[in-house]
Structure 1
Amino acid sequence: MSELLKSVWASLYAWAFPSAVAIAYYALLIYPEALSLHKYAPTEFEIDTKVAYLGLTAMIATCLAALRTPLYRILEGYLLWPRWLKAAGVKRHLRIKRAFDAAVRAGGSGWPFGLTLEDYARYPMRDDQIVPSKFGNAIRAFETYGKTRFNLDSQTLWHELYAVAPKYIQQKIEQAQSSVDFFVAGVFLSLFLAVATVVTGVLEDYDRTIFILAAPPLFVAFLSHWIAIRATDEWAYSVQALVNIGRVKLADSLGLSLPETLAEEREMWGLATKFVYFADADAGAGLNRFRRKSLAPADGEACAEDEPEAETPTED
């Protein structure tokens, strides 16, 4: 029951609270100035209005939670971005990553170098994994962690890894993901609120007072995006721990024996990924040498305890 309550609270915190704030901002500051809209809804908060407020908050939060993946893909640069903008974004972030490469190789000390390392860690190790946006690169950096270190595709084997992970790591991942969800919701709700405010200002004969009220939501949208990028750090550390610790238990759960060398382990996880994702028969055959030896006796052999005891002659 406690786990269910934690899950409900995470959803309320991540999606419902920003929705409630956005609706309250419009209802309290913008709607009273929108005289042309007053004939469609009351201007004072009554019991029915409060119920409608809660219902609208729940509806918006549910829609945002259901659309989580598309919302993330927009911020990552995969969805709704024109091809030329994607290409320009990838080129720009490749240039930034290579500048970080040079700075890290040059070395340094103190907190400025530490901040450089933090920024550098928000980019994937491989150049072919660079995506058009800074937020997308921060996500891609920990999505490819297992692949670049152990040749383990954590995206393909995510549910298996998560199932064998310690409870502490599972909770840390959920908490970190909820924090990022909160600021992602803040980005889209603030942008929508700014657009709604501008539209209301147009309907009110280009009321400058209403137009000015669109500035705070725009500021919150940019601030939420900036914080969302940095909030991925805790998520990245949690996924890193998931891969580092969980892969040992994952190998055992899949009936595999972890090899002695890292090179052999990378080969094993590469074969496992191909077999799971592509049902590759050759990869499955290659996995045979990594499978844990059965403890069952060979055919034709019997365990000592299974052999029938010789009857002891008794005296009449």
Structure 2
Amino acid sequence: MLSTIFGKTADLLDKRFLVGLLLPSLGFITAVGALVVTAGSWAAVRELARTVPNPERWLIVASAAAAVLLFAVLIGTQVDRLVGWWEGYWRPHWLRKPGIWVEQRRYGRLDDDDTSDSTRILREFPSSTNDFLPTRLGNALLAAENYSRERYGLDSVLFWPRQYLLLPDAVRTIVDDGRRAIDQFVVVATLSAVTAVIAAAMGMNGQLGGAVWIPSALGAALLSFLTYRSAVSAAIAFGDLVRSVYDLHRRDLLNALGVASPQTPDEERRLWTALGQYLFRGATDTGDETLIRYLPSSKAE
């Protein structure tokens, strides 16, 4: 899936790390900390803050800041897993069935003869209902992943890392920003959902009153829902970028591999299929190695 072949952790000194990981982590720890203190005693915290000497106070502040930073770094290393979970790659497979049924129903309400609906079908769903995932995010990203294979015979899982390295800097920046938006929304959606669960669990356990845990849980759940919907919108836009990359730059990839361009759509599909098999295991299962014609060295450079 695109999330596993494309994802990467933001640099600690990059402001995108601050916005996408550090600030959500700070918000999460602050919210959970507030719930824990509310379940205990704010008065005790105020008394502790008043009585602790300045050196120890600054040590506590520095330790808390380090803990938030460490938590943000750890979340950053798990972004791909989080995106995969929201995509619906759940185990065991039977957990996916209710969500897939919902997605199939949503797909069935669209009319492919209607221009608007046909555009949504292209951007939001894989071409085969048998491939559906149980979430909107998963289907939008899978539709983008499958596009190159269905249109050109080009396996995106195998070729995307190679294609990405050849992109012009301006294009790569746009693609990076599109992918990063998905990651940022997924992080906020995940931490908000966990906050909602913690608030509800503390309330049902009698640690918090209904006036505290109910609005806290509902507010966090609403934020999770809204940011997940934003992640879906970002995934649809990112899918358009991925399709455009293959439409515009796949011949650059052939040239970089030193392979002559095909002359017909059918020949192109067969070429990409053969080239993918050849790169993956050194041979094809159709005998189409003859389609892989090398360019003269001067043209391939």
In the TM superposition, what whole-angstrom CA distance separates every residue of 1:129-154 from its partner, at most 9, and x where no partner exists? 21121111011011111111111011
Q: Partner of 1:140: helix, strand, or coil?
A: helix
Written as runs of structure 1 = structure 2, the 5 A alignment for 1:228-307 is: 228-277=231-280, 279-282=281-284, 286-294=288-296
The amino acid that maps onto 2:213 is: F
- 1:197 is matched with which residue? 199
Task: Read off the aligned partner of 1:53 and give its amino acid letter.
Answer: A
Q: How many residues align?
A: 282
Q: Assess, with a 3 A threshold, how the Cα gap between structure 1 residues 260 and 7 changes in structure 2: closer, same or farther.
A: farther
Kindly indicate which of the two structures has a greater share of residues assigned to helix: 2
The answer to whether the 8 A contact 1:142-1:240 is kept is: yes
Cα gap change, 1:289 to 1:270, in 2 (>3 Å):
closer
1:56-135 to structure 2, matched below 5 A, reads 56-80=67-91, 82-100=92-110, 103-105=111-113, 107=114, 113=116, 117-118=119-120, 121-135=123-137
Residue aligning to 1:25: 31
Deviations 1:171-194 (A, max 9, x none): 111101111111101111011112
Matched residues, percent identical?
21
Residues in 1 aligned to 2:261 and 2:209: alpha-carbon distance in whole angstroms: 68
**Residues 274 and 292 of structure 2 are in contact (CA less than 8 Å); yes or no, is this contact kept in structure 1?**
no
State the distance in 2 between where 1:75 and 1:293 align. 43
2 CA distance for matches of 1:204 and 1:178? 39
Correspondence for 1:34: 39
Cα distance in 1, alignment partners of residues 265 and 252 from structure 2: 16
Once residues 131 and 69 of structure 1 are traced to their aligned partners in structure 2, the CA distance between those partners, rounded to angstroms, is 17
- 1:217 paired with 2:220, answer yes
Bigger CA drift: 234-243 or 141-150?
Answer: 234-243
Aligned residue identity for 2:263: E
Of structures 1 and 2, the larger Rg is shown by 1
Which amino acid counterpart does residue 173 of structure 1 have in structure 2? V
Cα offset, 1:42, TM superposition: 8.0
Alignment CA distance shift 1:13-1:283 (3 Å):
farther
Residue in 2 aligned with 1:303?
Answer: none
Q: Is the 8 A contact 2:277 2:283 kept in 1?
A: no
Amino acid of the structure 2 residue aligned with 1:94: Q
* CA RMSD across the alignment: 3.0
Instruction: Check conservation: 1:162, 1:170, Cα contact below 8 A.
Output: yes
Report if the CA contact (8 A) 1:32-1:43 is conserved: no
Is the Cα contact below 8 Å between 1:194 and 1:218 reproduced in 2?
A: yes
AA matched with 1:68: V
- The residue identity in structure 2 corresponding to 1:74 is W
Conserved? CA contact 2:125–2:142, under 8 Å: yes
Distance 1:52 1:6 in 2: 18
Could you give the per-residue CA deviations for residues 221-264 of structure 1, whole angstroms, max 9, x where no partner exists? 11111111111122112211221122111001111111111110
- Cα distance, 1:73 vs structure 2: 1.8
Q: Matches of 2:289 and 2:31 in 1, distance apart?
A: 58
Distance of aligned partners of 1:22 and 1:41 in 2 relative to their CA distance in 1, 3 Å threshold: farther
1:43-81: per-residue Cα shift (whole Å, max 9, x none)?
A: 64953343233222222221222112221221111124x
User: Is contact 1:10-1:175 (8 Å) kept?
Assistant: no
Q: For residue 278 of structure 2, what is the amino acid of its counterpart?
A: F
Match of 2:187 in 1: 185
Length-normalised TM-score, structure 1: 0.78
CA distance in 2, matches of 1:12, 1:43: 30
Query: Structure 2 regions of 5+ residues with no counterpart?
Result: 1-9, 51-56
For residue 89 of structure 1, give the secondary structure of its aligned residue in structure 2: helix
**Amino acid aligned to 1:223:** L
